[in-house]
Amino acid sequence: MLTIALPKGRVLEELIPLFAKGGYSFPSEWFTSSRKLVFTLPEQGFTLFLAKPMDVPTYVEYGVADLGIVGKDVLLEAAREVYELLDLRISPCRLAVAGKPGAEPALYPRVATKYPRIAERYFKERGQQVEVIFLNGSVELAPLTGLAERIVDIVSTGKTLRENGLVELERITEVTARLIANQVSYRLKREAIQTLAERLGKAVEGEVSA
Ligand code: PRP
């Protein structure tokens, strides 16, 4: 049996059809409309559980889950000791710096974000001094209220920025969902993990159908 930590939310909705393409079927309503967190699927050889995206790398690093699926943004921010096995190419978006258009660049700007590690590193690499302020969400509010001049956040359709009168200023990195593995599980359950990774890989390439 492989235990797989899946992220609640947007990525999960795109994962269900990808797993189906790889030949793994499970009723999608189990994930979308239920409050249940753990699903045992003996026929597929999986136990699946649903975690907050930012917690998925934690479950995988500690070996509670052999595998996990999570966005590259979360993987970079969590900085956990896990193997990244596969780019699933779903849930594409980007990490970007955004702010009000035409704002004068501040000498020591405040940057609000859910991704403090990524933001610190990005500005440090550019030799820019900033004060990073951690927020749990609705980060676009920060420049509107004067909490911060800039934000570092995910941009997907750009709708949230547009509707709040903000613009993307710099692109940090492209983001897609990744398959990650616990380092010990990867050795001890190599065959099962590779079978799953290969089938998902082919599903990503559009080479298989159940
Ligand atoms: C994410 C992100 C942006 C928005 C971007 O927020 O933090 O706010 O989606 O998507 P868009 O470019 O398609 O508008 P989420 O919905 O996860 O909520 P949060 O802000 O509370 O984290």
Mutate which of 14, 141, 156 to test ligand 1's pocket (most atoms within 8 Å of Cβ)?
Answer: 156
**Residue of the CA atom closest to atom 21 of ligand 1:** 137
Pocket test for ligand 1, best of 153, 167, 168 (most atoms within 8 A of CB): 153
Q: What is the CATH number of domain 2-91+176-204?
A: 3.40.190.10
Residue nearest to ligand 1 atom 3, measured at CA: 154
**Domains 2-91+176-204 and 93-174 in one fold:** yes
pLDDT digits 0-9 by tens, 27-41: 766 666 778 899 888
Tell me: the pLDDT tens digits for 150-169? 999 999 999 999 999 999 99
**pLDDT the model gives residue 210:** 45
Measured CA to CA, the distance from residue 207 to residue 18 in angstroms comes to 12
Beta strands at 150-155 and 110-113: parallel, antiparallel or unpaired: parallel
Kindly give the distance from the C-alpha atom of residue 156 to the centroid of ligand 1, in angstroms, as a whole number.
8
**Ligand 1 atom closest to 10 (CA):** 17
Burial 54-73 (b: 16+ CB within 10 A, else e): bbbbbbbbeeebbbbbbbbb
Token duo for residue 43: 């026929």
Which residues approach ligand 1 with their CB closer than 6 A? 137-140, 153-160
Domain ranges of the chain: 2-91+176-204, 93-174
What's the CA-to-centroid distance between 44 and ligand 1, angstroms?
33
pLDDT digits (tens, 9 = 90+) for 104-136: 878 899 999 999 999 999 999 999 999 999 999
Contact 178, 87 (CB under 8 A): yes
Q: Three-state DSSP class for 203?
A: helix
For residue 31, the model assigns a pLDDT of 67
Retrieve residue 148's tokens: 């911060």
| Residue spans of alpha helices (H) in the chain | 10-21, 29-32, 56-61, 72-78, 116-125, 141-145, 159-163, 183-188, 190-205
Cα 68 to ligand 1 centre (Å): 22
Residue 44 pLDDT: 87
With a pLDDT cut of 90, the percent of the chain lying above it is 80
Q: Is the pTM of this model over 0.75?
A: yes
For the chain, how many residues are written? 210
CATH of 93-174, one of 3.30.420.40, 3.40.50.720, 3.10.110.10, 3.40.190.10: 3.40.190.10
